[in-house]
């Protein structure tokens, strides 16, 4: 983890992942979101995407042998693998989605790894150790870079320098949220989500709203995936 501090303020590196799926009737895209528990000190009760701060483990060089090589097209900023590992680890920890391939190159079914996930959440095994023992390779080719945002000072003294990633959730995968980190969860189409914010029923920070608006420009997952659209870069307010 990279951290800067001063005057009780901290900036921590983080990654978040947008899980998107296609709906056909009507034709639209939906994105998976979770509600943070009211007991959380940071963004309590806010709707967010799975993600979190980077751990030292994410920088382990051994992940290079347990990940599909990064594709420059999907990684235009040339980010190190640690960000991708962080996003994939958080997806597994928070909502039980493990995007990985077996030795035959086939995508695994996340539900088959519930038990090892519980072991990881209990601190008995690390993310890397799971990949090694199960002989899995992280499917970094299923993530594309989606932008970079920073928590504004006015929101919190605990700030996150966050890289966003987009994935089209493979068929057969179903999120199973971790009760300790998620109060509610669900799939939202953009119109319903933004209307919920307008009515005061859903709380979201600006980068979440911006990403929803981007997704709302598309009706097909392939078009969104193949576009260069994303949540952008830190705004002047976020950099102030």
pLDDT of 28: 95
pLDDT at 3 over 70: no
Domain membership of residue 116 as a residue range = 3-239
Q: Is the pLDDT of residue 206 over 80?
A: yes
Mean pLDDT calculated for residue range 103-113: 97
Average pLDDT, the chain: 92
The answer to whether 44 and 51 have CB atoms below 8 angstroms apart is no
> Does the pLDDT of residue 152 top 90, yes or no?
no
| Total of domains in the chain | 1
Band of residue 4 on the pLDDT scale cut at 50, 70, 90: very low
Question: CATH number, domain at 212?
Answer: 3.90.79.10
pLDDT 10s digits, 6-44: 446 788 999 999 999 999 888 999 999 998 876 767 777
Closest by Cα among 186, 178, 190, 179 to 214: 190
Looking at residue 8, its pLDDT comes to 61
């Amino acid at each position: 983890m990279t951290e800067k501090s001063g005057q009780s303020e901290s900036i921590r590196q983080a990654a978040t992942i947008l899980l998107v799926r296609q709906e056909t009737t009507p034709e639209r895209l939906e994105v998976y979101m979770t509600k943070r528990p009211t007991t959380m000190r940071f963004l309590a009760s806010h709707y967010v995407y799975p993600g979190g701060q980077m751990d030292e483990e994410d920088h382990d060089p051994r992940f290079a042998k347990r990940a599909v090589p990064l594709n420059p097209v999907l990684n235009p900023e040339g980010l190190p693998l640690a960000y991708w590992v962080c996003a994939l680890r958080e997806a597994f920890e928070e909502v039980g989605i493990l995007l990985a391939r077996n030795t035959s190159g086939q995508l695994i079914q996340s539900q088959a790894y519930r038990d090892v996930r519980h072991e990881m959440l209990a601190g008995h095994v690390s993310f890397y150790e799971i990949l090694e023992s199960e002989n899995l390779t992280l499917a970094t080719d299923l993530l594309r870079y989606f932008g970079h945002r920073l928590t504004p000072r006015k929101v919190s003294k605990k700030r996150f320098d966050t890289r966003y990633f987009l994935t089209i959730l493979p068929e057969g995968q179903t999120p199973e949220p971790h009760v300790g980190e998620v109060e509610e969860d669900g799939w939202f189409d953009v119109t319903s989500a933004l209307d919920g914010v307008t009515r005061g029923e859903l709380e979201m920070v600006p980068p979440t709203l911006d990403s929803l608006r981007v997704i709302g420009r598309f009706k097909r997952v392939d078009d969104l995936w193949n576009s260069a659209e994303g949540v952008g870069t830190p705004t002047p307010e976020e950099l102030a």
